[in-house]
Amino acid sequence: MKRATAVAAVAVGLLVAAVADAQVKKGRNRPVTTKQLMSGIVQPNCAAIDAAVQQAPADDKAWENLATNAALLNEISYTLVDDGRCPDADWATAVTQLRTASDAVLAKALAKDHAGLAAEFPKITESCGTCHKAHKK
C-alpha cells in the first residue's frame, strides 16, 4: 500500500511538473508559443528601445516609434500571464516588473526624455533576466 501511494505521488508530481513546463512553452487555448512571443514581439521591441538608448531618437517619428515599442512590451506583459501561461511566482514577478518598467519607458518616450529613457530601460532587461534565470533552459 505504501509503495502504491509513493508511486501515485511521484506520478502526480511529474504530471504537475509537465503541466507547468507546458504552460511556459504555450498557453492552454491559443496557438502562439512563448518562444514565438519572445522572438516576434519582446526581442525586436527590446532591441529597438536599446538602440534608442544608445542613440537618442532623431525626430518626432522616431520618438513615436519608440513609444510604440514600449507600449507593445507593456501589452505583451498581459499575454505572458494569460491563457494559463504563468506557471509560478518567478514568472508573475518578472511580468509585473516588465509591465511597470515598460510603462515607465513609454512615459519617457512620450516626454521625449532620453536621459529618463536610459535610466528606465535597464529595468526592462532586469525583468527579462528574472524570468530567464528561472525558466530559460
Q: Kindly state the cell numbers that stand for 13.
A: 508530481
- Cross-strand bridge partners of residue 130: none
Secondary structure (3-state) at 76: helix
135/99: higher pLDDT: 99
Closest CA to 94 of 59, 129, 122, 67: 129
The pTM for the full model equals 0.82
pLDDT tens digit sequence for 70-128: 999 999 999 999 999 999 999 999 999 999 999 999 999 999 999 999 999 999 999 99
Q: Residue 72: its pLDDT value, please?
A: 98
Distance, CA of 131 to CA of 89 (rounded, Å): 10
CA 130 to each of CA 61, 88, 94, 125, 135: distance values in angstroms, whole numbers, following the listed order: 32, 12, 6, 9, 9
Q: What is the CA radius of gyration of the chain?
A: 19
Q: Which residues are 45's β-sheet partners?
A: none
Nearest to 37 by CA among 76, 87, 83, 81: 76
